[in-house]
Amino acid sequence: MPPNILDTMQSRVSFEICAVNIQSAHAAQAAGGHRIELCSALDTGGVTPSPGLIRHAVVQLSIPVNVLIRPREGDFCFSDAEMDVMLDDIRFCREAGANGVVVGALDSGGQLDLDALRAFKSVAGDMELVCHRAFDFTPDPFAALEQLIELGFDRVLSSGQADNAYKGRFTLGKLVGAASGRISIMPGSGIDASNIAAIMNETGASEFHFTGKRKVSSPGQPIAGLDAAYWVSDPDLIKAAINAATG
C-alpha cells in the first residue's frame, strides 16, 4: 500500500474498546479509545451488562457508550420470550442515554433473522445500530451485508468469519470493498498490538474493536469453586495497540 494512503488511513482510524466493568470503561477512555462497547461475561462472548453499569458508564464517560444486547450465552437463535427481554433492554439503553446498541439474531437456517433485526431497529429509534458477530455465522456474509445496509445498520463487527480478525483479514478486506462506504466494517476478535497494523493494511478498515485485556485478582483468600480472577482492560495494552496502528 502506498505510504500516502496509509497516512490517510491512520489519520481517520478510530478504536472501540470492549469494556466489561466500570474500571475497564475508564481505562478505555484514558488510553485514547474513541468509543466503548459495554458488555459482561467476556468469556462467553459477552452478554448484556447490568442497568447500573450502563447508567454509570454513560454518566461518567465523555466518549460514546454502545451496549451489547444479548440475553444469554450460546447461539443467536432467540425465542419470543428472549426477544421481549432484548427489546426491553434496548428501551432501557435509549432512556439511559447510551449512544447505540450492538445486536444480532439468526434464524434456524443460520440466516439473519430479519424480523428480529427490524424489531431491534424500531425500538432503538435514532440510536446507533451495530450488528455483532452473529454476522460471522451466516452462510453468505456478502448477502448478509446487503441486508444490513437495507435495514439501515451503521456498523458490522466481524472477524471475517474466522477464529480471529487476523485470520479473517482477507475476507474483511473484501467486505470493506463490498460495503463501499455504505456501512462501516469494524474488524474485531483477537486484535492487539502485534497484529493491528497488518489487519489495517490488509483490510482498509478505519474502525477496530479490541479489549486490551488482562486478568487481575484482589488480595485475599481463594474462593472455593470459583475463579477469583477477572478481566480488566489495561490502559497500557490499549495504548500499545493504538500506537501500533497509528505509527
Helix-helix angle 3-12:196-203, to 10 degrees: 110
Q: What are the backbone dihedrals phi and psi of residue 64, each rounded to the nearest 5 degrees, phi first? A: -65, 145
Contact partners, residue 224, CB within 8 Å, separation at least 6: none
CATH topology of domain 3-246: TIM Barrel (3.20.20)
* Cα dihedral 85, 152, 126, 173 in deg (nearest 10): 90
Distance CA 135, CA 221 (A): 42
Distance CA 20, CA 209 (A): 14
Write down the pLDDT at residue 11. Answer: 55
Write down the pLDDT at residue 228. Answer: 82
pLDDT in tens, the chain (247 residues): 444 434 444 458 999 999 999 999 999 999 999 999 999 999 999 999 999 999 999 999 999 999 999 999 999 999 999 999 999 999 999 999 999 999 999 999 999 999 999 999 999 999 999 999 999 999 999 999 999 999 999 999 999 999 999 999 999 999 999 999 999 999 999 999 999 999 999 999 999 999 999 999 877 777 777 888 899 999 999 999 999 999 8
Write down the pLDDT at residue 89. Answer: 98
Write down the pLDDT at residue 197. Answer: 98
Cell numbers found for residue 216: 487481575
| Dihedral sign computed on CA atoms, order 185, 15, 93, 68 | positive
Extents of the domains making up the chain:
3-246
Distance CA 205, CA 155 (A): 12
Cell numbers found for residue 17: 474498546
Q: Are 26 and 58 in contact (CB under 8 A)?
A: no
